[in-house]
Amino acid sequence: MIFITAKFRVLPEHADRWPEIADAFTQATRSEPGCLWFEWSRSVEDPDEYVLVEAFRDDEAGAAHVQSAHFKAAQETLPPHLAETPRIVNFAVPQEDWSLLGEMAVKK
């Protein structure tokens, strides 16, 4: 799968509304057949920063995402709400889902 984590620093005046601002893009991406997950979290240290964790089935699904109409629309509609260009880590991993963190196994 293609695993991506991106940090979005949002302008302070838009930070509380970011989930709403990004909602159309989020919902459209989650509907893509090759999207495994697309999840936003807000930083506990910086209320103006959101972290996006996303994964796509394979290179083909990742390419389809970047070429989609909703991605192109997001390239126009999201940047005016940002304080800087998002930062990203993108890599391929040989798995299809999350692995368990064995070092912190929950014992029942």
| H/E element, 8 | strand 2-9
Contact 56, 1 (CB under 8 A): yes
- What domains can you pick out in the chain, each with its CATH number? 2-93 (3.30.70.100)
Distances in Å between the alpha carbon of 78 and those of 15, 34, 103? Answer: 12, 22, 38
Q: What tens digit of pLDDT does each residue of 82-95 get?
A: 999 999 999 999 99
pTM confidence score: 0.92
Low-confidence ranges of the chain (pLDDT < 70): none
